[in-house]
Structure 1
């Protein structure tokens, strides 16, 4: 696979203050989190708690905490990246409290996530650091306010996700609450990577992602791994 370079010997790259444990294969993970006004109250509290548990779960794994790089992109009004937590190793990641406000610029947020993944992959490869296929995980309770099904922006974003999936650029996942526009998510994302959430049970999503990251980090020379998932079946994904 493009995302995994199999070598007989890994040559450590001197740590330059930018990449810790360069001899460890990295898995960049972009958490694309809806922090629009409709998330106010219990939903945003659950989202904050789920993120904390996610980070803690990965930190407890001696391999994953040195492999998983976390980047959080919030989208409420304007998609924004917490620069201090942009592709930071799990062992160093310190989540900041998210606040619900604004609309749901999902299209712009997805475009930003794909761009960030592209940049991070190039950054790591330039330094000779091996990586697994990055993940983008979107969690929302609504529908896009910056595009509509069938318009030019919608087509552009949908095509970008399709190409990313087809070319193994990254794995894109979408999770929506009962209030989310699931038809929109199913139109944008690959069918097998769209799931509904019961209530505001964001913890179950973060548990799935942290569990998956641990499996991938310990996959050794495998090209494919079996993952548990939010449904009642199993997924097999290429890494």
Structure 2
């Protein structure tokens, strides 16, 4: 069951929604998508996973933009891929900048270009960059006297972290400690979604049992609906998990 209403896309209306400048509580979401070589070789419904993902994203984005003119009006996205080309910012102007009109875009203007799969899985570098950009964006907005909520990271992967050459790396252990400290101080929340082939140990270490959600099959529609719920909900891990269990039978 999909708890999200269906919307028709309206790009003209979306263009009218800029960065929120009033006193509403601003929220920032980093979406990290694994585009490593496994997404090219794994198939779903008879086609490469990356092709299926691109089609599903194209159908999903109008929902996000429509929500961005309502419940997600105060949410800004930054989207990073890790795989082909290393770690790449694919939202906004594509630069690693937290300034207005940089990498962050309001939900109503979110666009994700067609993704290409290949290369290694620099997951740790991607999360590091996302944390840096989220902290910079929050600091910039707070300097303007605006309220912000705890930033959220949404991580999607079907593998395990590697170095740039594709060799397994243990750097995720240090990252897990940093994320735990961040959770304790309520500075960041991480939701991790694992699709078949993912390294459970890594994902559980990074997101904890409450923040890690494993899909038993590569159901990309369900995955993206889960991402949108994780973005929209103000609640903590346990409450979001309960909602997922009720709506998606996880």
When normalised by structure 2's length, the TM-score is 0.74
Tell me if 1:205 matches 2:223.
Answer: yes
Q: Aligned partners of 1:51 and 1:198: how far apart in 2?
A: 20
Counterpart in 2 of 1:5?
none
CA contact 2:179–2:188 (8 Å) conserved in 1: no
Counterpart in 2 of 1:34?
34
- Taking a change above 3 Å as real, the CA distance of residues 64 and 196 of structure 1, as seen in their structure-2 partners, is same
Out of 131, 143, 165, the position equivalent to 2:183 is 165
Compare 156-165 and 61-70 and name the one that shifted more.
Answer: 61-70
RMSD, aligned α-carbons: 2.9
Counterpart in 2 of 1:113?
130
Q: Aligned partners of 1:191 and 1:225: how far apart in 2?
A: 9
Select the structure with the greater relative contact order (CA < 8 A; seq sep ≥ 6).
1
- Taking a change above 3 Å as real, the CA distance of residues 215 and 141 of structure 1, as seen in their structure-2 partners, is closer
- Aligned ranges 1:19-30 → 2 under 5 Å: 19-30=19-30
- Taking a change above 3 Å as real, the CA distance of residues 78 and 212 of structure 1, as seen in their structure-2 partners, is closer
Q: Aligned partners of 1:188 and 1:90: how far apart in 2?
A: 26
What SS is found at the alignment partner of 1:60? helix
Out of 123, 128, 152, the position equivalent to 2:140 is 123
What SS is found at the alignment partner of 2:245? coil
Q: Aligned partners of 2:228 and 2:21: how far apart in 1?
A: 20
Q: Deviations over 1:118-143 (max 9, x none)?
A: 11110111111222221101101111
Tell me if 1:48 matches 2:66.
Answer: no
Q: Aligned partners of 1:51 and 1:26: how far apart in 2?
A: 24
Counterpart in 2 of 1:181?
199
Counterpart in 2 of 1:67?
74
Tell me if 1:231 matches 2:240.
Answer: no
Q: How many correspondences in the alignment?
A: 211
Q: Aligned partners of 2:182 and 2:55: how far apart in 1?
A: 30
- Taking a change above 3 Å as real, the CA distance of residues 100 and 68 of structure 1, as seen in their structure-2 partners, is same
Counterpart in 2 of 1:192?
210
Counterpart in 2 of 1:133?
150
Structure 1 segments unaligned to the other structure (5+ residues): 1-17, 235-239
When normalised by structure 1's length, the TM-score is 0.77
- Offset at residue 224 of structure 1 (A): 11
CA contact 2:150–2:188 (8 Å) conserved in 1: yes
- Offset at residue 96 of structure 1 (A): 0.7
Q: Aligned partners of 2:61 and 2:144: how far apart in 1?
A: 26
Structure 2 segments unaligned to the other structure (5+ residues): 1-17, 41-46, 95-102
